Chain A
Amino acid sequence: AQSVSQHNHHVILSEAASLELGCNYSYGGTVNLFWYVQYPGQHLQLLLKYFSGDPLVKGIKGFEAEFIKSKFSFNLRKPSVQWSDTAEYFCAVYSDYKLSFGAGTTVTVRA
């Protein structure tokens, strides 16, 4: 079965700081990779996705992620966070009809 590991459980940052969230997965075949975000009290929203091609993908709200196949990683980055980026972030991997999620990283941005 697919497993997805997120490196950090809780990250606390100040506004304008850079953010990087780590994600590793276990499946060695073809996968589709995603980052979802869940703002407080809301449901999951797609932040960005990787299917194929350029391993550096850009998403909404200034987020980007880099797929490194050799490391089975798909790390999320944002150069300068805002208070409104406070949320829980989930890495997810799609394979064999199923989307498997990591445990999530709570990001708190202090004004």
Chain B
Amino acid sequence: NAGVTQTPKFQVLKTGQSMTLQCAQDMNHNSMYWYRQDPGMGLRLIYYSASEGTTDKGEVPNGYNVSRLNKREFSLRLESAAPSQTSVYFCASRTGPGANVLTFGAGSRLTVL
């Protein structure tokens, strides 16, 4: 099925460990996004990529890095995980101007101990 695929779905890390969340979309969308969802705070934008080859910081970029590997894939890396990064992470993609609807992945639940 077409859509946004995230891996892994669940991950437990120890403080200081690193990991990469993978995201791929097969809808030929130009823009891709990483959000984190925390109780009572809605979804906050971490990084986004308006088009292949570009990335920009969102509201809460500290502690994260991203790579727009190609048009399909947009990964989120935690270099040194902290308990404050315990969250549910959502990847999303959007097609070009005039169609500003984001399609979301199923989410990745990350726990940092």
- Taking Cβ atoms with an 8 Å cutoff, the residues of A that contact B are 1, 4, 6, 9, 32, 34, 42-46, 49, 51, 90, 94, 97-104
Contact = CB atoms under 8 A, between A and B. Distances in A.
A49 B101 contact: yes
Contacts, number: 48
A97 B101 contact: no
Contacts of B105: 43
B102 A1 contact: no
B31 A97 contact: yes
A9 B40 contact: yes
Main DSSP-derived SS at the B contact region: strand
B107 A101 contact: no
A94 to B, nearest CB: 4
Interface residues of B, number: 24
Interface of B: 31, 33, 35, 40-45, 48, 50, 56, 58-59, 90, 92, 94, 100-102, 104-107
The 5 closest A-B pairs by CB, nearest first: A101-B42, A101-B43, A103-B42, A94-B100, A44-B104
A104 B44 CA distance: 11
Contacts of B92: 99
A44 B107 CA distance: 9
Contact of A100 (B41, B45, B100): B45
Nearest to A4: B42
Nearest to A42: B106
A37 B99 CA distance: 19
B108 to A, nearest CB: 11
A6 B31 CA distance: 26
